[in-house]
Amino acid sequence: MKLINSDKTIAIWIATAIAIVFGLLTIKSGGQVLFGGSIYQKAAGNYVLFVVWFNFLAGFIYLVAGVGIWMRLHWAVWLSLLIAIATIIVFSILGMHILNGGGYETRTVAAMSLRSIVWISIFVFSYRKLIRRQVI
């Protein structure tokens, strides 16, 4: 009988917590801008609607990925990769929007950078822990 490596369990728990907390915060912030009325829209400034919608909807997928990682399901690794790729694509489209003179907030660029880094990191981590399964 193989004992569960507690370091691996803690690492999985941390990745899960990051994905789920990130998802909940993303749903909350996007939902406020989309459905919270003018006070939230005004506070958001020059928000880019397609980015807000993408992030809001992606927040739900973050939760699914987090649960899948917690359960050590291989599909969650590939879902994390899909999230990272989709985020980078939307970030690229945001870049084109900005280069074409579209309005935006600097914090949107920072947030998309953070989202990209987080999901690339979650993918790499979960791939190493769940797919490649490094021998300990």
Instruction: Give the global pTM.
Output: 0.89
pLDDT at 15: 94
Is residue 1 over pLDDT 90?
no
Which DSSP string do the residues of 96-127 spell out, in sequence order?
A: HHHHTT----HHHHHHHHHHHHHHHHHHHHHI
35-39 mean pLDDT? 96
3 has pLDDT over 50: no
Give the pLDDT band of residue 52 (cuts 50, 70, 90).
very high
Contact 121, 87 (CB under 8 A): no
Q: What is the pLDDT of residue 7?
A: 59
CA 14 to chain centre: 14
Q: Are 66 and 48 in contact (CB under 8 A)?
A: no
Q: What is the mean pLDDT of the chain?
A: 92
Tell me what pLDDT residue 6 has: 60
Cβ(67)–Cβ(124) below 8 Å: no
Return the SS3 of 72: coil
Looking at residues 24-49, what average pLDDT do you find? 97
When pLDDT is cut at 50, 70 and 90, the band that residue 2 belongs to is: very low
How many helices (H) does the chain have, and how many strands (E)? 5, 0
